[in-house]
Amino acid sequence: MRIAMIGTGYVGLVSGACFSEFGHDVVCVDANPAVIARLEKGEIPIFEPGLESLVERNVRAGRLRFATDTATAVADADAVFIAVGTPSRRGDGHADLRYVYAAAAEIATAARDGCVIVDKSTVPVGTAEEVERICRETAPAKALHVASNPEFLREGSAIEDFMRPDRVVCGVAAGDSHAEGVLRAIYRPLSIRETPILFTDRATAELIKYAANAFLAVKISFINEIADLCEKVGADVQGVARGIGLDKRIGDKFLHPGPGFGGSCFPKDTLAILRTAEEAGSPLKIIDAAVRVNEERKRAMVRRIVAACGGDVRGKTIAALGLTFKPNTDDMRDAPSLAILPALQAQGATIRAYDPEGRAQAEPLLPDLHWCADPYAALEGADAAVLITEWNELRGLDLARAGELMIQRIFIDLRNVYPPEEMRAAGFAYKSVGRPRGDAP
């Protein structure tokens, strides 16, 4: 199949590269010439494990290329995927669809008869209908088909998620056998693994994406509240999470307490589904509560850090270990560190920071941090250390070396990475989340 991917951000580049790995002929389009120039030189603008080699292999094989001109790229395409950004709109939390609609008009002008235009971006219910209206208005003489194919990629494991997905969701208009046939052909390589490919109407497909992310966000806020309860009653949240996670109706994923959810999806998508529900007159009170719990969670983490430092961080140096919203990505969008670290600075703390991949993205957002080349440099001269993001290299610190470098052996572990007894043996005053017995004297 001949595929054009509009947008070379996280979703577009990963999806385009994976489609080319399936054997399709793919061109990824971006209006920014600098981005395309970097990609053509083999420079990947985002950090995603395995993506660089995947792109290089398929470019070399002639299945993947890059372009700035949409019209040329889509002219002979069987399917064109729209994978542009849909950021939260200022003021009301709705997804900003201006880039989706602009892409739709541009595609409709240049696409051939029979082309299937597919919304890959995360978009609210009704977007496919509006894209179809734009296509009819822009190119009334063409028979263009509009479908929805939401992505379910986790940053840090996106290639594995694409190649071995839990499911593929495709939304097509009633009776549109052509669009369904094209999508089935595109995803045929997955049929070898018997991947469930779910075909629905377009509104249902659009809502599946939002409902899935909202449900996972609720699980995170739920376990964070349970962690707080554990601390009050003397229970261990990790034992609770294991105990409930073994129930197949619940599952063990997203039951890890921490400083709250962030990233490019959960914060944006929960707000968008709340606005959709509000406009539809069907409020989603559970999701609304999860969002409010998440915002409070970040403030609670600041209070936890300050308390661990004796109630005052004025004039103290704090080592911040890991700043991205999760490991194995350089993504800083809505990362908890963006709320936690400025709040500590506002109370007079100096922050020495280390993140394996996030510095370039974080520096413009957190301009007053003292960046360090490795975790031990960050720990040197620190009154306390805060582990915010559980990168693998931060899971096995040399505690003896860390303690010797620090002024005080205070360690606040917001991800419950370290065993309390190990920290106790190393002489640390240790604070974790939902594990009261982990608070070393």
The DSSP output letter for 364 is T
Outline where DSSP puts E strands in 91-179: 116-119, 145-148, 168-171
Catalytic residue ranges: 265
Sign of CA dihedral 70, 72, 75, 77: negative
Closest CA to 258 of 140, 390, 123, 125: 390
Q: What is the CA radius of gyration of the chain?
A: 24
CB-based contact 417:395 (threshold 8 Å): yes
**d(C-alpha 79, C-alpha 19), whole Å:** 12
Query: What string of DSSP letters covers 109-124?
Result: HHPPTTPEEEE-S---
**d(C-alpha 128, C-alpha 205), whole Å:** 10
**d(C-alpha 239, C-alpha 245), whole Å:** 10
Sheet with 410-413: strands ordered across: 370-371, 350-354, 317-321, 384-387, 410-413, 429-431
Residue at token pair 């922050």: 351
Structure tokens at 54: 């995947």
Outline where DSSP puts E strands in 149-244: 168-171, 197-200
Beta bridge pairs of residue 386:
320, 412
Is 436 buried (19+), middle (13-18) or exposed (0-12) by CB count in 10 A?
Answer: middle
CA geometry: angle at 380 spanning 377 and 382, to 5°?
Answer: 125
Sign of CA dihedral 11, 365, 32, 44: negative
